[in-house]
Amino acid sequence: MLSLMQLKVGDMKQLKIKALIFLIPMLLIASCGGGSYIPRFSKTKDVPPPKTEKVETKETPKIDTASPNEFNDPFIDVWLAAIESVKWLKWNIAFIDERGGVIRLKEAYAYRKSGKMLRTYTWPSKENLQTSSINDYLEKVGRYSPRGSSTVFTQENLKMTIIRVSDDVTKVDIDYTIRPYTFAGKIGYEVESNGFIESLLLERMKESLDGRPLAKR
C-alpha cells in the first residue's frame, strides 16, 4: 500500500517538472517581445521627402519713377538740351548763367495779327491789336475763363533753372507767368499756367537727350 502511494507521488513530481520545462521558454519569449508582436510588413519605412521642382522667377523690370521734370542724365547734357528747347520754341534768351543753372527768356508779348499768332519783345501798338483776339490761346496755355472779356495780348515771362541732383540725375524747374490785357490796356489778373508750355519744353529736351550725342562746348 505504501509503495503505491510513493509511486503516485513520484508521478506527480515528474508531471510538475515537465510543466515547468514547458512554461519557462514561453515566459522568456513573452518577456523578450515586450508583450506584443508587430508583423514585419506593418513597420513604417523611412520615406525620403518629395522632390520639389525649382521654379525660375523672372526679374521684375525696373520702372522709371522719375518725375517729368527729372532726367537721368548729367547736368551738362540737360543744360544743352534746355538751351536747344527754348530755341526750338522760338523764344529769345535774355540771360544765361551756366554756373547757376539759370536760363531767363526775354519778356514777350503774344497777340494775333491777320489770323497769325506772334510773339514779340516790344509793347504791341494799338494798331496791331485792332483785330487781335487770343482768348483761345490763353485757354490753351493757362487756367483761364474769358467770362465775356476779350483778351488781345499777353505779357509773358519764363525762367528755367537746371539743378544738379547727382552726377547722373538733373532736375529742371520752369517758372512761366502769364498776364492778360484787354484792348483798353487795363491789366488783368495773372493767369496760372496749366503746364502746356512747360510740357512742350520738357518733351523737346527728352527728344534731344534721347537723340544723343549733343554737341558740347
For the four alpha carbons of 201, 206, 212 and 216, in that order, the dihedral sign comes to positive
Q: List, run by run, the mean pLDDT of 10-residue segments along the chain (217 residues).
A: 47 57 51 44 50 52 65 97 95 96 97 93 92 92 81 95 97 96 77 95 95 53
pLDDT of residue 144: 83
SS3 113: strand
Lookup result for grid cell 539743378: 163
Q: How far apart are CA 96 and CA 123, in angstroms?
A: 23
pLDDT of residue 182: 87
Residues in the chain: 217
The full set of domains in the chain, from first to last, is 70-207 (3.30.530)
For the four alpha carbons of 25, 27, 30 and 32, in that order, the dihedral sign comes to negative
pLDDT of residue 77: 97
pLDDT of residue 120: 96
pLDDT of residue 26: 52
Q: How far is CA 84 from CA 96, 98, 118, 160, in A?
A: 13, 14, 20, 12
pLDDT of residue 40: 46
Q: How far apart are CA 103 and CA 159, in angstroms?
A: 6
Give the DSSP letter of residue 89. Answer: T
Torsion angle of C-alpha atoms 76, 82, 83, 86, degrees rounded to 10: 180
Q: How far apart are CA 152 and CA 127, in angstroms?
A: 12
